[in-house]
Amino acid sequence: MAEKLEKRKIELPCPKGCSSKIQISYYDICYRREAKCSRCGSKYKFGSSEASNLKSAMNYVDRITDEIERKSKELERKVQDFQKANERLLKSPDLEIKN
């Protein structure tokens, strides 16, 4: 199964420009709604509406990704079933030879 989006981390530049990078997960963006620079203390604050929209979008993408993975596995099984059936069919045909 694919890694959930909320666990993925991104890097943001320090808002003050102190050249430090802020590493934050999408989960933290949605639930803490802030990203703080560990070097200078400057921070980003994310609005609750935008965080809620991001959370909804992440859940949708995760759900669709899981569905695609399930369908992909099902397709692989069906292709294997088809190949086996085709092999059996070609191994045992009825022959009719005309003079």
pLDDT (tens digit per residue) in 35-79: 999 999 999 999 999 999 999 999 999 999 999 999 999 999 999
From its phi and psi, is residue 17 left (phi > 0), alpha (psi between -120 and 50) or beta? Answer: left
pLDDT at residue 96 is higher than 70? yes
Tell me the residue length of the chain. 99
Give per-residue pLDDT as tens, 20-40.
999 999 999 999 999 999 999
Q: How far is CA 67 from CA 5, 31, 62, 90, in A?
A: 15, 25, 9, 34
Q: Domain boundaries in the chain?
A: 7-55+64-89
Which tokens is 26 given? 């999408």
Q: Are strands 9-13 and 34-36 parallel, antiparallel or unpaired?
A: unpaired
pLDDT over 90, % of the chain: 81
